[in-house]
Amino acid sequence: MKKSFYLMILCLLFFLISCSQKDQTISLPTHTGERIKNILVLPFDYYCPTEKGISFYCPVSGVIPGEIEVNAKEVMDKLLKKEISALSLRYNFFYLTPNEYEMLLEEALEKMKEHQALVKYFAERTQTQALLYGKIFRFKERKGSSWSVSEPASVAFTLILYDGQTGKILWQRVFDETQKPLSENLLNLPLYGKIKWLTAEELAERGLKNILKSFPQ
């Protein structure tokens, strides 16, 4: 009986891992895909509940904002640059430093009146055809070790690809995860990758890998 139970668990895990590795990429409309070669990657932003005025349109619902570690932006920028390198055969990625981003944003906000114009302004100034923008809603570090925690890591962010010609959203994904014990949810094993408690950076890295599977190609 025990052997049958363990065999069933192994088969289930194999099935879940196989499903997680299936190709989930999507394609842009032909007329759009053919002209997008260069993508400007903006530094991650923090979610700000009191944010007012013109900004990059970021439609997200159902995500509960929370604690954000002081180094979250730097960690997410580093991870994103690493993960999108796998797409460099299809796109050329260009990056702005935080200072360059702030200067260009300040310059744009003096002239722009709505968010689509803001996207188009960035694309025109940097000679790119699309913008990749990320916003962090939660980036909470675990409290404990890889084997025992009092509080697990919790990460929530969104990635958005804007069309530089129209300013409209071409693609968007949201990652929102607080690590759970595998005893509570075996379905998360393919995401977690191992039977340990992850750091916030490790959880964010797995989240980026997961959502970038569907990046337009």
Asked if the model's pLDDT at residue 21 lies above 50, the reply is no
- Asked, for residue 56, whether it belongs to a domain, the answer is yes
Does residue 149 sit within a domain?
yes
**What is the pLDDT, as a whole number, of residue 24?**
52
CB–CB of 162/128 below 8 Å?
A: no
Pairing of strands 38-41, 169-178: unpaired
HSE at residue 182, side-chain half, CA atoms within 13 A, is 15
* Predicted TM-score of the model (pTM): 0.83
Range of the domain at 139: 37-212
The tens digit of pLDDT for each residue in 124-158 reads 999 999 999 999 999 999 898 877 778 999 999 99
DSSP secondary-structure letter at 28? -
Residue 1, domain member (yes or no): no
Question: pLDDT at position 10, please?
Answer: 45
Q: Work out how many domains the chain is built from and give that number.
A: 1
Q: Is residue 11 part of a domain?
A: no
In a domain, 6, yes or no: no
Beta carbons of 178 and 145 less than 8 angstroms apart: no
CATH number of the domain encompassing residue 72: 3.40.50
Mean pLDDT of the region 189-201: 77
- 3 lies in some domain: no
pLDDT band at 22 (very low <50, low <70, confident <90, very high): very low
